[in-house]
Amino acid sequence: MVHVSCSLYAIVNLFAQFQVSIKEIYVFYFFFFIVMAKKLFVGNLSWKMTNEDLYSVFAEFGEIEEAVVAIDKLSGRSKGFGFVTYVEDASAASAIEALNGAEIEGRQIAVNEALPPKPREERRSFRNDRY
């Protein structure tokens, strides 16, 4: 039996035994360790909500990789939304089903699958490029 660690180095060594190309190794790594994690958007959070509070609310549905509340840089308080990343898709689906529309700290939260950020347009350069 082969013991497998979750590092890319361990995966490369394991696949090297079977003469698999580097491209195939990266595809495997990306799919199983990045795509398989499910990120949820949590909206309408209380301004008093912290990362630990968010983690404790969502922890009952499965193993959480990360729970982050967006914080305003100037005021230091919550912006009213956050993200929770689950290790397994089934845990994320059960959390969406149970908590979407639930009341937490006096507010009805919205829980959805997070969408990837939209690509930004190229910003205008204010340098003088005429010369």
The pLDDT tens digits for 55-72 are 999 999 999 999 999 999
| Phi and psi angles of residue 60, each rounded to the nearest 5 degrees, phi first | -70, -10
Are residues 99 and 109 in contact, defined by beta-carbon separation less than 8 angstroms?
yes
Amino acid at residue number 65: E
The pLDDT tens digits for 81-116 are 999 999 988 999 999 999 999 999 999 999 999 988
Q: Is the pLDDT of residue 35 over 70?
A: no
What is the reported pLDDT for 41?
96
Q: Is the pLDDT of residue 34 over 70?
A: no
CB-count burial class (<10 Å; 0-12, 13-18, 19+) for 109: buried
Q: Where do the domains of the chain lie, and which CATH numbers do they carry?
A: 37-113 (3.30.70.330)
Q: Is the pLDDT of residue 1 over 50?
A: no
Q: Is the pLDDT of residue 10 over 60?
A: yes
Q: Is the pLDDT of residue 2 over 50?
A: no
